[in-house]
Amino acid sequence: MNGDEQIRLWANAAVKLQDVRIERLEADGGERDYRLPASAFVMIRQGKLRLRLDDWQTDSKRNQWVHGGKGARLRMSASEDCEYMLVLYRGELMLPLSKRLRRQLEEANPFAEQYAFDPLFPAELSSLADRLFEDWQSGDPLDKLRARAVFATFQHELMRQRRLRQEGPERFDLLHQVLLDLHRRCGEPVTLEELARRFGCSVSLLSKSFKRRLNASPMRVLTHMRMERAADELSRYDLSFQQLAERCGYPDAHSFGRAFKKHYGIPPVRYKALLSQGLPVPELPALYPKSALVGAKRRCYNGESVENHYHLSRRGELPMRKRTSAAMVMIALCGVLVLSACSGTGNNTTSSGTAGAAAGAEKNVSAENAGGEASQAATRVYKDSTGDVTVPAEPKRIVDLTGSSIGDLLALGVKPVAAIRDSLQNPYHEGLVDGVADLGSKPTAEVVLAQNPDLIIAFDYIEPSDYEQLRKIAPVVRLKYGALPPQELLTEFGKITGKEAQAQEWIEKWNAKIAEVKPKIQAVVGDRTVSILQPYAKGIYAWGNKGGRGGEILYDDLGLKAPDIIRETLIEGDGFGGDLSLEKLPDYAGDYIFTSNWGWDDGDANVVYDSPVWKSLDAVKNDRVFWIDPKGSFYNDPISLEAQLELIEKSFLGGGA
């Protein structure tokens, strides 16, 4: 019987779980002889087993699955301590049976088949088996009901992997399988490490496969899928943005909104408004070509492939609307602004207020008539992430759109006239941002124009359509997000504002302070590891040396060690932060832990802090847990770094914080 015939029989079966248990067998403890009371799966969790089913024998190793039918004689012996899971079930075909199914059942009964199977992706089956065991052992009838669904999912995954194994390596495509998995789970927390374990490969191999075929990382592809789902659900359902964020794999509406605007050029509320008015909405740019998904000797995938799914289903059910570029949408949204600011070209500064285009043009003519030398003396050229930008030699009215780097300006003695709301929420900046206008979370070009800026600073994730609107207001500097450590970023702000000497002065003082405390802290910590962990509504975030929270200080400046998984993925790797479940916490927990609730959602951190897993950590039992500010820890500007270093110093040298 081929695999598809077996799958067809399982699809027409009624299955009842009988028992799910985990047992141990000690080395040289003799042979365990057992008559199966029902059909059974046996999975080796640890060690090795010599296993016999009637006259059929196999040497089973970790993660291998063995199946036998009711009445079979199961004999097991171990040469080393072994742990195995036994799943007993009763399966029978539902009546009435078609002639075809009856004939297939007579030829080979799938519930009595004896075989051993080495999974292609052992982590996937092991994870389902663990969930099955937990639900079955629970005293809650609702959990037992869920166990039936988990068993069905387990059987589906087992049959899927058996089919892939039977089809042979020429039909198996790791990249395609991962894409399908990401497509199914794009609304769930996913990490690169968990993804690699699920498919039985290394993080490096997985990343290289995506880079070679798609020229993108797995996480970038996942984000692309999430944005596609977000647009689809905005067009179909009336959900709150918090609900939408959770359905798309984001912990809160804030982080979801920023990601959506970065990819579509407009916030989700505006996108939904355009849909409701029947106006064009921006398309998500294609991330990978069709050829990337199709092997050299393979036909194109059918309509169920990841690439085609959205184009052939949901949004296609709606009345077709003309799609256009993000730039055209921004023009439609800001038509009045374009007319009022159209006199400004390139990176020239326009006039402010309501004087209109004529006043702006008049001011430009006056500036030109003032003479070339004076104009050159008042400006200079700065090279940002995209090219040369002509900026004022001494900018007076800076608008900060970075969301996190206003502290770099403040440290140089420069106070911007306005900033987006995220910039103004840092508790370490209290009293320093008085008088800075709050532009809100998603400022429009009109709001920025009202501030009459002479310079706008943003990160490079700003969409081209936004940039085109802003550059008509004032010169726009786009810094590459996350590319520079804090000291180098401060140096760039010094170049932009003409405060290079002040930037260098701060760096020298900082290095002197680090040189003073580093040997003292290293003497206390020694070879022990340090981690930064923050519970949030749906899990736990771990941080490396790129995401604030004091990570740049702990790992770069002080040279302290991180747990291996943090070092490999978040320090040496490209990741900013790792998303993990409570069960994986011990792998990420260092001998010292800096922690707080995440601070950007309404999650209850005590779900983690009150758990047995947290309380069992060495850092917790040995009073090596230090509490950071949930809001202030987000930032890594000079002022925030000074406050974070003070806390770190007190934690290690002053007996706690």
Q: What is the pLDDT of residues 24-36, one digit of tens each?
A: 888 877 888 889 9
Contacts within 8 Å (CB) and 24+ apart, 566-569: 566/531, 566/542, 566/590, 568/203, 569/191, 569/192, 569/193, 569/203, 569/544
Over 60: is that where the pLDDT of 8 sits? yes
Over 70: is that where the pLDDT of 443 sits? yes
Report the pLDDT averaged over residues 557-561. Answer: 93
pLDDT band at 2 (very low <50, low <70, confident <90, very high): low
DSSP 324: B
Mean pLDDT lowest for which of 103-107, 383-387, 623-627?
A: 103-107
Rounded distance, CA 185 to CA 226, Å? 10
Report the pLDDT averaged over residues 613-624. Answer: 92
**pLDDT computed for residue 537 by the predictor:** 75
Please write the tens of the pLDDT for every residue from 425-436.
888 898 999 999
Report the pLDDT averaged over residues 337-356. Answer: 36
Share of the chain above pLDDT 90, in %: 28
**pLDDT computed for residue 350 by the predictor:** 35
Over 60: is that where the pLDDT of 52 sits? yes
pLDDT band at 199 (very low <50, low <70, confident <90, very high): confident
Q: Pairing relation of β-strands 73-77 and 49-53?
A: antiparallel
pLDDT band at 465 (very low <50, low <70, confident <90, very high): confident
Which uninterrupted H or E stretch holds 140?
A: none
**pLDDT computed for residue 1 by the predictor:** 52
pLDDT band at 362 (very low <50, low <70, confident <90, very high): very low
pLDDT band at 559 (very low <50, low <70, confident <90, very high): very high
Asked if the peptide bond before residue 486 counts as cis, ω within 30 degrees of 0, the response is no
Over 60: is that where the pLDDT of 341 sits? no
Rounded distance, CA 481 to CA 499, Å? 21
More confident residue, 417 or 183: 417
Global pTM exceeds 0.85:
no
Share of the chain above pLDDT 70, in %: 82
Residues 6+ apart with CB under 8 A from 183: 225, 306, 309
**pLDDT computed for residue 344 by the predictor:** 40
Closest by CA to 649, choosing from 527, 517, 497, is: 517
Residues 6+ apart with CB under 8 A from 631: 425, 426, 427, 599
Closest by CA to 69, choosing from 118, 114, 105, is: 114
Q: Which of 5-19, 220-234, 507-521, 628-642 has the highest mean pLDDT?
A: 507-521
In this structure, the number of other CB atoms found within 10 A of the CB of residue 438 comes to 14
Q: What is the largest CA-CA distance in the chain?
A: 101
Mean pLDDT lowest for which of 66-70, 90-94, 96-100, 246-250?
A: 96-100
More confident residue, 93 or 485: 485
Mean pLDDT lowest for which of 112-126, 173-187, 306-320?
A: 306-320
pLDDT band at 578 (very low <50, low <70, confident <90, very high): confident
| Cβ proximity of 157 and 124 under 8 Å | yes
**pLDDT computed for residue 638 by the predictor:** 93
Over 60: is that where the pLDDT of 49 sits? yes
**pLDDT computed for residue 655 by the predictor:** 53
**pLDDT computed for residue 240 by the predictor:** 84
Domains of the chain listed by start with CATH number: 3-172 (2.60.120.280), 183-289+320-326 (1.10.10.60), 371-498 (3.40.50.1980), 506-653 (3.40.50.1980)
- Could you give the 3-state DSSP secondary structure of residue 195? helix
**pLDDT computed for residue 654 by the predictor:** 85
**pLDDT computed for residue 599 by the predictor:** 66
Report the pLDDT averaged over residues 99-103. Answer: 71
Please work out, in degrees rounded to the nearest 5, the angle formed at the alpha carbon of residue 475 by the alpha carbons of 262 and 358. 115
Radius of gyration of the chain (CA): 30
pLDDT band at 360 (very low <50, low <70, confident <90, very high): very low
| Cβ proximity of 414 and 643 under 8 Å | no
Rounded distance, CA 84 to CA 24, Å? 6
Rounded distance, CA 584 to CA 11, Å? 34
**pLDDT computed for residue 632 by the predictor:** 80
Q: Which of 82-86, 110-114, 117-121, 169-173 has the highest mean pLDDT?
A: 82-86
Over 80: is that where the pLDDT of 3 sits? no
Report the pLDDT averaged over residues 590-619. Answer: 85
**In sequence order, what E strands does 345-422 have?**
379-383, 388-392, 398-400, 418-419
pLDDT band at 355 (very low <50, low <70, confident <90, very high): very low
More confident residue, 203 or 338: 203
Mean pLDDT score across all residues of the chain: 79
pLDDT band at 309 (very low <50, low <70, confident <90, very high): very low
Over 70: is that where the pLDDT of 286 sits? no
Q: Which whole-number Å values give the CA distances from 335 to 320, 332, 440, 466, 570, in the listed order?
A: 25, 5, 21, 13, 43
